Amino acid sequence: MERVHIKKLCVGCFSRGELARWQSAKMRWGQENGMGENKVWHDTRALPKLASRIKVGGSLYWIIRGSFSVRQTITDFSAIRDEKGMRLCRIWLAPQLIPTMALRHRPFQGWRYLMEQDAPRDIYNEHSTRELDEERELNEMLGELGLV
């Protein structure tokens, strides 16, 4: 069975570092409010119908500034209600942010499935991360010129 992932725009976030800071703050809030240590989550409206396939090694791929940037392993899903009583799906994530190759992606609403063969490769070392930043800058310039 092919592994399934989720892709999501990281709205309002401009870098991997900023996402890391947001999630560190969320982890501190969660710990202070009895959610346990190192808990990271993202709330969304719909529970994925393929949740059972995603939970077996699937990740949430964050798209930052128009390019895939980083991923986090999805550990679980749970149904919750917000302060107005609306049903939501909480996606539980491993706290580690794993940099990925910068593949351009146009905007979309909500989240979408991402099949294993379409997922960008991980970046493993500092040298590759620097190349990723340079590639992202180049992609942004080409996008502004309407070439990609």
Q: Which of 93, 96, 101 is nearest to 128 (CA)?
A: 101
Q: Which of 30, 55, 52, 54 is nearest to 40 (CA)?
A: 30
Q: Which of 136, 120, 147 is nearest to 66 (CA)?
A: 136
Residue 122 in contact with residue 14, Cβ under 8 Å?
no
Q: Under 8 Å CB-to-CB from 58, ≥6 apart: which residues?
A: 3, 4, 5, 6, 73, 74
| H/E segment holding residue 43 | strand 40-44
What pLDDT is attached to residue 4? 95
- Counted residue by residue, the chain has a size of 148
> What number is the average pLDDT over the span 122-135?
65
Q: Under 8 Å CB-to-CB from 114, ≥6 apart: which residues?
A: 4, 5, 6, 7, 61
What pLDDT is attached to residue 130? 62
What pLDDT is attached to residue 60? 98
What pLDDT is attached to residue 3? 87
Please state, rounded to an integer, the average pLDDT across all residues of the chain: 88
pLDDT over threshold 70, residue 148: no
30-89 pLDDT per residue, tens: 889 888 788 899 999 999 999 999 999 999 999 999 999 999 999 999 999 988 999 999
Residue 6 in contact with residue 91, Cβ under 8 Å?
yes
Break the chain into its structural domains and give their ranges: 4-144
